Amino acid sequence: METFTIVMGSLGGVSFVLTGLIAYFGNLQLERYKSGLEAATLKIRSLLESSVHVSKAQFDKEFSIYQDIWVHLVSLRATALSLRPMMDSHDPTESEEQRMRRRLTAFSESFYRFRDAMENNRPFYAHSVYESLGKIFDLCYTESVEYQHKDPGWSKEYWESSRENGKKIVEAIDACCEQIRNRISSMSIAQ
């Protein structure tokens, strides 16, 4: 023990021991801190990797919904605007009632396919796009009701209403198209 005291005395004594202990425990704390950071980094990395998959899946799902809805929307636009066309050619043997029934049947088929695509996918796409589609839905419905329940004859108001409804439908569809484009361009896939 005497040798130990002599060595300690010649090396600076207690300060040497304290410095050694501080270095040892400091290194130990540093290693614990580094391993904690590595664990946190691994956890964050795994979360990011799973969110990339979810984000990509969400983007793909939403994009395919917009494609599906757009197909039905184009069909709806065509049938809605053909209910009361300004320029019309038809079979002379077809009565006005038969023509009306044929047009309303075509409209109804596209109208309900559009409604089903819009409503069945509602939770999976942007609410702003849903609202825009709802406006189109209402405008097309209004056009079909006005066509179906018109007064006898072909008044000037009938044709003005047809033109105004058609204009509103086309404008609403154009606005919806921009909503969809903006939504798609605003989304980015996390990498």
At which residue do the structure tokens 């990011």 appear? 48
Q: Distances in Å between the alpha carbon of 109 and those of 154, 164, 169, 180?
A: 26, 23, 18, 24
Q: Give me the helices (H) in the chain, please.
A: 2-11, 14-81, 96-120, 127-148, 156-186
Same domain, 150 and 70: yes
CATH code: domain of residue 71: 1.20.1420
Domain encompassing residue 17: 2-41
**Residue 46 maps to a domain:** no
**Residue 180 maps to a domain:** yes
**Residue 49 maps to a domain:** no
Sorted by sequence, the CB contacts under 8 Å of residue 169 that are 6+ apart come out as: 77, 80, 81, 136, 139, 140, 143
Same domain, 144 and 98: yes
Structure tokens at 119: 């409503």
- Number of neighbours of residue 117 by Cβ within 10 angstroms: 19
pLDDT score for 58: 85
**Residue 177 maps to a domain:** yes
Same domain, 74 and 33: no
Same domain, 182 and 116: yes
**Residue 120 maps to a domain:** yes
Distance CA 97, CA 150 (A): 12
Same domain, 86 and 123: yes
Decide if 14 contacts 8 (C-beta within 8 A).
Answer: yes
| Radius of gyration of the CA atoms of the chain, in A | 36
Number of domains in the chain: 2
Decide if 73 contacts 114 (C-beta within 8 A).
Answer: yes
Distance CA 31, CA 131 (A): 56
Same domain, 18 and 60: no
Q: Does residue 153 come out as left (phi exceeding 0), alpha (psi in the -120 to 50 range) or beta? A: left
**Residue 47 maps to a domain:** no
Same domain, 22 and 63: no
Same domain, 20 and 59: no
Same domain, 81 and 136: yes
**Residue 129 maps to a domain:** yes
Same domain, 85 and 26: no
Same domain, 83 and 159: yes
**Residue 32 maps to a domain:** yes
| Digitized pLDDT (tens) for each residue of the chain, 191 residues in all | 677 566 656 656 566 665 665 767 677 786 888 888 788 777 766 555 443 344 788 889 999 999 999 999 999 999 999 999 878 777 889 998 999 999 999 999 999 999 999 999 999 999 999 999 999 999 999 999 999 988 766 788 888 999 999 999 999 999 999 999 988 887 776 65
Distance CA 167, CA 185 (A): 27
Decide if 107 contacts 83 (C-beta within 8 A).
Answer: yes
Same domain, 70 and 150: yes
